[in-house]
Structure 1
């Protein structure tokens, strides 16, 4: 075994011995990364079409982002942005007011998407004076106890006790496995079901309904356009605010700066993170001035929130996205969608392909298996999805697996990915399917 190979193993062993358990399905020790490529300590290169779960949107080690962060490091690293005002935070707040939908104007900066979601819930409760929250089954909003209460998947909640008790869940807009439309054309019945759940599971004290515009961890579930509009209407009818969680779908991922723009809906509060600073820890939630001003000084604080280095990186990330990259995502996303549809037609084990821009999912199924008692689609095949991911990794492509059933391959590459790299990933998926079916 070479010294470099032993270093790979040293990193893995160090995690096993000194780091609390983490998700290790991909298990690639990373020494360096650039663009859409990561390299391990043995010199092996991998095409990354997962980008750290939709984080490095403008590419690993993006030069403009790195330089912006370095320049700020030379000035100062930390001044506690909620005690001492500074330029990067003020400028980023203004930029978010400019690029977010509608009248969203004021932002609170934190460190992660989970914190952004929890802060948004606090703001909604303060503004409305109400406490109850609705979220979607199969949704994912974080792993802290508050955000975990919103997450609609028991696999994340096992042996945990969420501290927000005033949470109810409604059916997701999962067209492929919709129990309400029974395989027919979408009637948005799952949106109307929000009305029923409010009437049967709440005490008339609705603070917010929290949704993802495209459900990432749920399996790249894209709702029909009318769905989000109807959910907002019902939410407002019952005195609540609509919180649209753009943590995973935002910052160019779907071919718009924010995925909500596909649905002509302006959220009341919009959490963001992941791609906002291209890998530096930063989150935000943005609201209209009327809603945001419900917070008084001290209602919500974060020691490291709005770190000036991360904010400088975020400003550079937005510059990159606005410099033609979002249009690039639209073009490449259309190409990718067509190629994945061809794979769906060629392989019976591929039950559905779906997505927007460079946020695409490929759902693996047992084509000859049974369906569930309330299901209209073939049985999910999580085992095959895992085999496909391992096959791809062993052949130099990193692709995520997700979905409520653990059976969805996830194309979420850096948005800088070029056509030939996408072709490599698509052909790699086709080869893996051929080898394992």
Structure 2
């Protein structure tokens, strides 16, 4: 032990990971054939499924559910029940959920404290529009605002992230008296007719008039973009591209900021920018991280141009990044408007916009109303989530388990030619797959699906994203454990190995 204490922190971490992996692969998670087939234990027993048969459910979905709804997997899973990081299908089979209902289940499926709070509220009052007063909306608004810095004190409740971003667009335009908005290419802010124009991914757009007044600046992607490399990201995992940036001086950041400034200069009436919308880390776009100082400098340019800064925390908020409660805090900035959804209610339909009193006052110029915004059940769920995050040290856990996770994923990048990049912070991680590391050519869909389907068959559910659909999105409920990490990366390693051997 004395000898180990003399080692550097990185060496100690490497020994710890190596020892843990060796022990668990020998004793717990691998069968004689090498396939990781035994999950970490779970003492929860799902109730028997009593609904439609699998075949009847597929037929109903085909006939009565919108064909625009994406269905994951060749043989879709009929999920019957959830418990913390686990979901169970109609046969009772258990899966480790590494996507959390698309980054929505923050503290765990059916977390008992959240469920109890909602059930208690359900017996008192289901619904009361916010033209009346009820304790829940006021208590929760105060509690939520206390989590934000500075003058971010006024809360507007909505039902989804897209709705929150629409409201933020309206606020920014009313407050500044300007119309033009800048967001980034590869960003995702929703698919409503209003936010579809704000979103910077053609794969999420329909051919109708949208995006009037919205301009998309170059995405400061240090992996696929024109500039950036191995010294640019706020992550344990840097790109493997060479980088000419020096300590404290990021040339890539300089170049991307100039491109951002040029977008405003050539596309926006002088001094008439309404807002800059940004995700601190891009979610649907595949976990893209910007150069470390980009957001601070882009916010400066935005304000010099008359605009307000809007942080879309729909996926990065509520402790998911581990180091900070909000993604913008990790970037060292304070926005003028913050939008949030998904993890805010652990899956309950709830979202919010938080802004300053000055900006909020613009909404008094006309009537503004949201029937379900601040619903008593939603506020009970949201308030319980904040309590659980604090009581159970969820943010600290996201940071600690996330560090273990990204280190294991980095080992996969070093082992397999098809793993081009690993990135992210806390429990917001991404693995980008390519045909080879030098060209960065995206792995074809059929090849991605082969790996993805095998992971599912071995009990691990992973999301997909990115413009090319070649990025695994790993954003689990933040109750996952280090044993879950070791199991799931073992499953992914085996799937990658089988794919490589099949080529």
**TM class, shorter-chain normalised?**
over 0.9
Partner of 2:446: 383
Partner of 2:385: 317
Partner of 2:343: 275
Query: Structure 1 length as normaliser, TM-score?
Result: 0.94
CA distance in 2, matches of 1:408, 1:23: 17
Give, in angstroms, the shift of residue 413 of structure 1: 0.5
User: What CA deviation, in whole Å up to 9, does each residue of 1:157-194 have, x standing for no partner?
Assistant: 133432x4001001112110111458534521222311
CA distance in 2, matches of 1:138, 1:314: 29
Is the Cα–Cα contact under 8 Å of residues 317 and 340 in structure 2 kept in the other structure?
A: yes
Q: Are 2:262 and 1:196 aligned?
A: yes
Is the Cα–Cα contact under 8 Å of residues 285 and 467 in structure 2 kept in the other structure?
A: yes
Q: Are 2:134 and 1:86 aligned?
A: yes
Give, in angstroms, the shift of residue 56 of structure 1: 0.7
Is the Cα–Cα contact under 8 Å of residues 271 and 285 in structure 1 kept in the other structure?
A: yes
Give, in angstroms, the shift of residue 88 of structure 1: 1.1
Is the Cα–Cα contact under 8 Å of residues 56 and 279 in structure 1 kept in the other structure?
A: yes
CA distance in 2, matches of 1:101, 1:171: 29
CA distance in 1, matches of 2:183, 2:204: 15
Which residues of 2 match residues 41-80 of structure 1 at below 5 A? 41-80=90-129
Give, in angstroms, the shift of residue 249 of structure 1: 1.1
CA distance in 2, matches of 1:359, 1:28: 24
CA distance in 2, matches of 1:313, 1:5: 27
Is the Cα–Cα contact under 8 Å of residues 8 and 42 in structure 1 kept in the other structure?
A: no
User: What CA deviation, in whole Å up to 9, does each residue of 1:223-262 have, x standing for no partner?
Assistant: 2321110110000000000101000111121112211111
Provide the aligned length of Structure 1 versus Structure 2.
427
Structure 2: segments with no counterpart, 5+ residues: 1-48, 230-240
Give, in angstroms, the shift of residue 386 of structure 1: 2.2
CA distance in 2, matches of 1:306, 1:418: 33
Partner of 2:219: 172
Query: Structure 2 length as normaliser, TM-score?
Result: 0.82
Which residues of 2 match residues 74-153 of structure 1 at below 5 A? 74-81=123-130, 83-153=131-201
Give, in angstroms, the shift of residue 103 of structure 1: 2.2
Is the Cα–Cα contact under 8 Å of residues 364 and 381 in structure 1 kept in the other structure?
A: no
Is the Cα–Cα contact under 8 Å of residues 364 and 382 in structure 1 kept in the other structure?
A: no
User: Any idea what SS the aligned residue of 1:286 has?
Assistant: strand
Q: Are 2:458 and 1:395 aligned?
A: yes
Give, in angstroms, the shift of residue 6 of structure 1: 7.3
Give, in angstroms, the shift of residue 421 of structure 1: 1.1
User: Any idea what SS the aligned residue of 2:149 has?
Assistant: coil
CA distance in 2, matches of 1:319, 1:428: 33
Q: Are 2:486 and 1:423 aligned?
A: yes
User: Any idea what SS the aligned residue of 2:387 has?
Assistant: helix
Is the Cα–Cα contact under 8 Å of residues 133 and 168 in structure 1 kept in the other structure?
A: yes
User: Any idea what SS the aligned residue of 1:79 has?
Assistant: coil
Is the Cα–Cα contact under 8 Å of residues 165 and 189 in structure 2 kept in the other structure?
A: yes
Q: Select the residue among 351, 368, 375 that pairs with 1:307.
A: 375
**Root-mean-square deviation over aligned CA pairs:** 1.7
Partner of 1:223: 290
Is the Cα–Cα contact under 8 Å of residues 364 and 384 in structure 1 kept in the other structure?
A: no
